Amino acid sequence: MSDYEGSIPKLASPVKDVQEIGEILKAELGYEVRRLPNADKSTIVRELNRLILESGANDSVTVFYAGHGQMVEKTGRGYWIPAKASAEDPAQWISNADVARRSRTCRPGRSCWCPTAASRHARARGEDRQERGAVRSGRVLARRSVTVLSSGGEEPVPDQGKDGHSVFAWHLMQQLRNVRYVASGVDVFEQIAERVGQEIPQVPQYGAALSSGHQRGGDYLFEVRRY
């Protein structure tokens, strides 16, 4: 999201991040991709509900959000700030709790929710980190996996950095291009976190969304669908 109202600053990189990451997922990994550049709350909610209705038990879902986020300190609740939203009208924000509830009703065996870019609110927990070594895809796919990969914790993160992309999105793109057959979410995360940390004081986060039905021992798998 780059188009905001009132006092919320516009962002330069989200639309470009979404377009290019979507193209990599489609052209190189064989995913079906839907892009929602500068979508408002109603459009995002409608598409999330559409995913719930259309996805099946053997599907994987990746949701990549690029835009502002907000953590309300008094309540401890985090929000996505869609396009057209303003700081003065929280009714146009999308809460992490609402996204978690929707992901819990999503039918795929594994889902990956990825708020990123200028997101400040995401908190990912690592209780279910996949063990090191080769991906044991059969065991992982037997479990429902809902994971979160975010560009940072609660600290503000840079909007731009490399080739018109945020630093986080740029390194995510490099890791997706490196997937040959299958790569676990935790392995992708560790590569991104190391490289981002070498460039800027930003700490990406990855972990299980237990409130969305993640099962212990699961992990998201980035799979090439065309061999």
Who contacts 226 (Cβ-Cβ below 8 Å, separation ≥6)? 30
For 152-210, what is each residue's pLDDT tens digit?
Answer: 876 666 666 778 899 999 999 999 999 988 999 999 999 999 999 999 888 898 988 88
Domain spans of the chain?
Answer: 14-223
Residue indicated by tokens 């975010």: 150
Closest to 82 (Cα-Cα) out of 43, 116, 51, 52? 43
Q: Specify the long-range contacts of residues 47-56, CB closer than 8 Å, at least 24 apart.
A: 48/99, 48/102, 49/102, 51/106, 52/102, 52/105, 52/106, 52/107, 55/106, 55/107, 55/108, 56/107, 56/108
Per CATH, the number for 14-223 is 3.40.50.1460
Q: How far apart are the first and last CA of the chain?
A: 33
For 11-48, what is each residue's pLDDT tens digit?
Answer: 888 899 999 999 999 999 999 999 999 999 999 999 99
The predicted model scores a pTM of 0.83
